[in-house]
Structure 1
Amino acid sequence: MFRFLLPTSLLLGLLAGSLSCQAAISDAEAVNRAGMQRMLSQRIAKNYLMIGTDTRVDLAGTQLDSSIASIEENAQLLNDYAPSESIRKALNEANQTWGQYRQIALTRPDRAQSAELLRLAERFLGQSEALVQEIERHSGNQAARLVNRSGRQRMLSQRIAMLYLAMSWKLPEQRLRGDFDAAVAEFERGLEELQKAPQNTEQISRQLEQIDTQWRFARAGFSLADDSRFVPTVIVTTSDSLLRKIEQLTLDYERLAGSAR
């Protein structure tokens, strides 16, 4: 079952050579990349729980490999970008946690160990959030706030699925339901905020309409959890569809932020 872990070392070994030729990233891309770390913190935990609950295991393995490689790539790009001491400090703290988190994420999923995995995922999420905020403050670009907000929606799509899987696996964590409800509520607030943004182009407004439609479909699946009728495959599929749409939205906001400077 764990054959999908083997290519990761090869992928990571290629990063140093491939990234050395790339130009320094912009402030807007740095916000996006740091925001992507938030999302990946939740996506990796989701993949771990997918394997543990026997939910689309092959997909989980592929996503786990690519997510780990993406975190390593983003960390190197952000390290090369870091223009201030506060940003470098925030990045170093996140990277230290990532080393511990990665080690557990690559082990065989185990219910007893899942509490430590979720704790590290939460810490890495918080540290990545602090990094995003530092970069946004440094940029001084109002449009960068939309990149941040959209990127946080991207994270929430994976956090909601991760917490749903944790509840379906009946992990002995008291806060799971409360955290799940809070993530759902925050996603709805964030979507409403983005829909009202005066900077939205016609294309971005259309994308937000599509995301809203997909979100309403996801909410219908969440209601089944109230009766302990979990549908993890449906929620995983829907969350990935949401992620793809929000990923494109975030890139569009990144371009908008780049043109605003």
Structure 2
Amino acid sequence: MFQHLLRGMLLLGLLLGALPGQAAISDAEAINRAGQQRMLGQRIAKSYLMIGTQTRSELALAQLDASVASVEENSQLLGDYASSAAIRGAADEAGLTWQQLREQALAAPDKSRSLEMLKLAERFLAQSETLALRIEQHNGSQPAHLVNRSGRLRMLSQRIAMLYLALSWNLPDAELRSKFDTAVEEFDQGLDELHAAKQNTEQINDRLEHISNQWRFARVGFKLTEDGRYVPTVIVTTAESLLQKLEALTADYAQLAQAAR
């Protein structure tokens, strides 16, 4: 029943994504969409683990549905946008991995197959990272770099929650802890870089302050893992709130990048 429900959700997402009349997207929006792909792959894996660990399963199902539909829509828009051979090649490569990731996501969560899911999400992340970088290089402006950097924090909010769930489920991967620690460190560094950006407006600085406050709260929950105690519901809820704030922040940077063209 689970797989049947998800296939129905996917069909709806595909139909919505295939609607005609979508306008071509700008360079700034293309960077934003490619950055979303990075995040969505990690979000799909996180939702998969939420269902498997029975952590807010109903919410996870809704997130999985929305994420699959969003990846499909973004893939279509980015495919239409691709303005160079390098961008087209990166988009095609990510698209091939997405087909495998989607198939895995549509299956009922199984602990024995969870590492396969994480590997596919990792590959899709790396390929979407390359795509975002190619588009940023094509744009060539500092605001475009800030869109990419902010979008990467958006991805890290979901990656950290995903890895936290994997640790709490005791998945057999000796590198999970180091990957988790690296993701937390990268979030710290990315946030510091955005705070220091000279292009920041008052609104952006205000958003960054709210994000920093919530990030400090999340870090308290991370420390509990050192004692083998986990609070997955708290962490996934905090990650969701961070994601919403980072979406708004990335949109602000996208507006700056568009204005700089």
Query: Which segments of structure 1 move beyond 3 Å, counting only runs of 4 or more?
Result: none
Shift of 1:16: 1.1
Name the residue aligned to 1:126: 126
TM-score normalised over the length of structure 1: 0.98
Length, aligned pairs only: 259
Shift of 1:11: 2.2
Deviations 1:62-118 (A, max 9, x none): 000000000000000001100000100000000000000110111111111111111
* Distance (whole Å) between structure 1 residues aligned to residue 120 and residue 18 of structure 2: 26
* Distance (whole Å) between structure 2 residues aligned to residue 184 and residue 224 of structure 1: 14
Name the residue aligned to 1:108: 108
Deviations 1:173-207 (A, max 9, x none): 11000000000000000000000000000000000
2:10 pairs with 8, 27, 31, which one? 8
Superposition pairs for residues 1-261 of structure 1, below 5 Å?
2=2, 4-5=5-6, 6-17=8-19, 20-261=20-261
Look up the SS of the partner of 2:18 in the other structure.
helix
TM-score normalised over the length of structure 2: 0.98
* Distance (whole Å) between structure 2 residues aligned to residue 14 and residue 189 of structure 1: 37
Partner amino acid, structure 1, of 2:12: L
* Distance (whole Å) between structure 1 residues aligned to residue 15 and residue 254 of structure 2: 28
Flag the 1:205–1:101 CA change in 2: closer, same or farther, 3 A.
Answer: same
* Distance (whole Å) between structure 2 residues aligned to residue 211 and residue 100 of structure 1: 34
Look up the SS of the partner of 1:197 in the other structure.
coil
- Aligned alpha-carbon RMSD (Å): 0.9
Partner amino acid, structure 2, of 1:7: M
* Distance (whole Å) between structure 2 residues aligned to residue 205 and residue 13 of structure 1: 39
Shift of 1:15: 1.7
Shift of 1:56: 0.2
Deviations 1:201-245 (A, max 9, x none): 000000000000000000000111111110000000000000000
Structure 1, unaligned runs of 5 or more: none
Shift of 1:14: 2.5
Tell me if the contact between 2:13 and 2:72 (Cα under 8 Å) persists in the aligned partners. no
Partner amino acid, structure 2, of 1:16: A
* Distance (whole Å) between structure 2 residues aligned to residue 131 and residue 192 of structure 1: 24
Tell me if the contact between 1:4 and 1:65 (Cα under 8 Å) persists in the aligned partners. no
* Distance (whole Å) between structure 2 residues aligned to residue 232 and residue 106 of structure 1: 23
Tell me if the contact between 2:195 and 2:208 (Cα under 8 Å) persists in the aligned partners. yes
Tell me if the contact between 1:37 and 1:128 (Cα under 8 Å) persists in the aligned partners. yes
